[in-house]
């Protein structure tokens, strides 16, 4: 895309601001207006109705904010992993519940759990509607008298769950865990039948929201308001978990530094509003650091001081084992262990500080995306991605655009990656009425609670992100200033940031702003995170002008807001194996030259706190005229993790 003859010769005057051409409006130029008018929804069908409307209400699931620790097996706890083969059936007419499919499927086939269903079956490739999972499982009689939970690590998007034909409850929102207390519904003399109805229908009130079947500028088909594939299904583990009748329900470890001494403040919660004693122990050596826990109404605190503490950082990701136990009459009732790192994170002026020292983030935004698995948990891929990030010299990434697996977070702790941890609030807009906005806000607040409850003890997590690329107006239609949308968004994000700070006062909070997004929203964040695409969506092919525009935009944001800035997205698409001299768009050479200029501009500014390239690897999208092969090709690696020239270039700049 080249500027029209009426555009200013000064690239800075062409910087997308509200009312000018931003990333989402790039097709609305002379070259793309005809296609965009169709894709933007000028002939769009009405948004789909709430798929849960008219259904009998289900009780809510247990959520992480209610005290839902990740399952683990030890002397007092057991778990049974139900990963493997389940029965599966699509329900395109959505009649399964009425016809009792929670007892038996009429024509089942086999599916793998965890996995997304879309890459497994040809007839389910673009299917987002209702589908059913069934699985039988014995529960060990030795677990009698224990508290028994049925735990789901991630189901996308809406789940309704039955056990032995009886409803357990429902849950909305993918990527975060939920559970049900099943002790009273279990049978012990035969297998228990678990049934799950799942659907991921795109509706305006969900997070992320959808706008119905018409699609949009980027997404084509299936229709979404975000630029990645809407994978569906049971995408992480399902486990049956046993806990002691009195058990540890939640743990918070807050770390501080006093000169060479590390301080670990422990908050623990026990079930049944228990009044008793316990221990908090740090380390496994002799002597280990230990403190007493005195529970009152199920709550206890303790402080552990660590002389000569080994601080956690990317260069030295030292982890301590924190072990908690409950005891009564000399008998241990329950125990729970987790890995923690002693470190601090804060914003000071225009610097992001780790352990009191400025830190610069270098890395990529990522997706949980791989052939066949889709968004399903892929443990070998977690290991391989970490190896490739280290090979490039990266020290960080963002969980774009949803929380990643527990395994990914534990790997980041162990390998020393700094994480911007993001809820699934992508594709948000503020032009479709107060009722829809309020429903989305309620889901976002739940997601913030659950994300922080799950990930608060990971030293790798240094920033919470409450949204990606929100827009004041209709994100898929013609742009322009929308003062009412800006005002609504300001109130919306003020509440989200307040919630993040309420749940965790030890980390900054941010969101990632679309190019040209409202400065009023960026001002609310502790760190300014900007997604900038000069040289691609604007000033495409004009890298000299793009560099100038990039520098002026960064300087303008800093002069106005006086806070650290991270470029959380920048990138150019390159089809692997496509070359040209001189560099041209879509070639590997252009991707390298684009990134070279961004690194140069960022390196000239001391207020910059990092840069994340979009994207780590190519990832699947919907089919559309702007996504060749149904793929976003901005990865510096191919989807199967082979390096493009850009990956070698980043290694040459980042690897030390």
Q: Sheet containing 147-152: give its strands across.
A: 62-63, 178-181, 147-152, 238-243, 78-81
Taking each helix axis from N to C end, the angle separating 588-603 and 543-561, rounded to the nearest 10 degrees, works out to 30
Cα 377 from chain centre:
14
Q: Label the pairing between strands 396-398 and 361-365.
A: parallel
Residues with Cβ within 8 Å of residue 473, at least 6 apart in sequence:
429, 430, 431, 479, 480, 482, 485
Alpha helices by DSSP H, 51-154? none
Query: What tokens appear for 25 in the block?
Result: 């409006």
Cα 563 from chain centre:
24
Distance CA 548, CA 565 (A): 17
Taking each helix axis from N to C end, the angle separating 645-654 and 379-392, rounded to the nearest 10 degrees, works out to 60
Distance CA 477, CA 402 (A): 24
Rounded alpha-carbon distances, angstroms, from residue 345 to 73, 255, 312, 396, 527: 32, 10, 11, 14, 12
User: Long-range pairs for 595-604 at CB < 8 Å and ≥24 separation?
Assistant: 595/570, 595/571, 595/636, 595/646, 595/649, 595/650, 596/649, 597/535, 597/543, 597/546, 597/547, 597/550, 598/550, 598/567, 598/570, 599/653, 600/547, 601/547, 601/550, 601/551, 601/554, 602/554, 602/567, 604/551
Active-site annotation, residues: 469, 569
């Amino acid at each position: 895309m080249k500027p029209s003859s009426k555009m200013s010769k000064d690239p800075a005057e062409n910087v997308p601001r509200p009312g000018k051409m931003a990333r989402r409006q790039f097709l609305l130029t002379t070259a793309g207006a005809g296609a965009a008018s169709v894709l933007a929804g000028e002939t769009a069908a009405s948004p789909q109705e709430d798929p849960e409307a008219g259904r009998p209400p289900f009780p809510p699931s247990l959520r992480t904010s209610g005290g839902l620790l990740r399952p683990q097996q030890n002397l007092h706890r057991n778990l049974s992993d139900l990963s493997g083969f389940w029965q599966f059936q699509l329900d395109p007419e959505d009649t399964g519940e009425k016809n009792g499919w929670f007892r038996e499927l009429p024509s089942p086939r086999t599916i793998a759990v965890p996995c997304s269903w879309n890459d497994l079956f040809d007839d389910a490739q673009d299917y987002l509607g209702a589908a059913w999972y069934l699985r039988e499982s014995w529960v060990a009689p030795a677990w009698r008298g224990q508290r028994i939970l049925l735990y789901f690590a991630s189901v996308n998007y809406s789940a309704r769950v039955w056990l032995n034909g009886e409803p357990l409850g429902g849950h909305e929102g993918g990527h975060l865990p939920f559970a049900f207390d099943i002790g009273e519904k279990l049978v012990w003399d035969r297998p228990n039948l678990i049934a799950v109805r799942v659907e991921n229908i795109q509706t305006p009130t969900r997070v992320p929201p959808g706008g119905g079947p018409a699609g949009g500028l980027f997404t084509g088909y299936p229709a979404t308001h975000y630029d990645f594939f809407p994978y569906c299904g049971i995408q992480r583990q399902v486990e049956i978990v046993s806990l002691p009748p009195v058990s540890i329900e939640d743990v918070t470890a807050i770390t501080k530094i006093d000169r060479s001494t590390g301080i670990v403040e422990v908050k623990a919660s026990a079930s049944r509003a228990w009044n008793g004693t316990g221990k908090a122990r740090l380390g496994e050596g002799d002597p280990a650091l230990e403190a007493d826990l005195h529970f009152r109404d199920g709550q206890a605190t303790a402080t552990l001081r660590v002389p000569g503490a080994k601080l956690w950082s990317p260069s030295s990701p030292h982890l301590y084992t924190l072990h908690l136990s409950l005891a009564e009459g000399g008998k241990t009732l329950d125990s729970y262990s987790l890995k923690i790192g002693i470190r601090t994170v804060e914003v000071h002026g225009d610097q992001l500080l780790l352990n009191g020292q400025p830190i610069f983030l270098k890395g990529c935004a990522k997706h949980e995306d791989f052939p066949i698995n889709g968004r399903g948990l892929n443990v070998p891929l977690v290991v391989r991605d970490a190896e490739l990030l280290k090979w490039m010299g990266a020290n960080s990434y963002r969980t774009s655009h949803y929380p990643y697996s527990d395994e990914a977070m534990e790997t980041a702790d162990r390998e020393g990656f700094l994480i911007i941890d993001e809820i699934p609030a992508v594709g948000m807009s503020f032009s479709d009425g107060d009722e829809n906005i309020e429903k989305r806000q309620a889901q976002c607040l739940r997601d913030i609670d659950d994300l922080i409850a799950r990930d608060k003890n990971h030293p790798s997590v240094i920033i919470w992100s409450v949204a990606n690329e929100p827009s004041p107006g209709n994100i898929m239609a013609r742009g322009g200033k929308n003062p009412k949308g800006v005002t609504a968004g300001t109130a919306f994000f003020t509440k989200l940031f307040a919630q993040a700070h309420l749940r965790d006062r030890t980390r900054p909070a941010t969101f990632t702003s679309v190019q040209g997004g409202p400065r009023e929203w960026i001002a609310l964040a502790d760190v300014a995170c900007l997604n900038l695409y000069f040289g691609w969506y604007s000033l495409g092919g004009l890298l000299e002008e793009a560099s100038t525009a990039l520098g002026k935009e960064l300087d303008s944001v800093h002069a106005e807001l006086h806070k650290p800035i991270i470029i959380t997205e920048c990138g150019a698409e390159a089809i692997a194996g496509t070359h040209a001299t001189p560099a041209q768009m879509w070639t590997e050479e252009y991707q390298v030259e684009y990134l070279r200029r961004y690194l140069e501009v960022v390196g000239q500014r001391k207020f910059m706190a990092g840069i994340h390239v979009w994207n780590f690897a190519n990832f699947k999208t919907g089919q559309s005229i702007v996504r060749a092969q149904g793929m976003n090709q901005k990865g510096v690696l191919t989807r199967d993790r082979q390096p493009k020239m850009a990956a070698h270039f980043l290694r040459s700049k980042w690897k030390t």
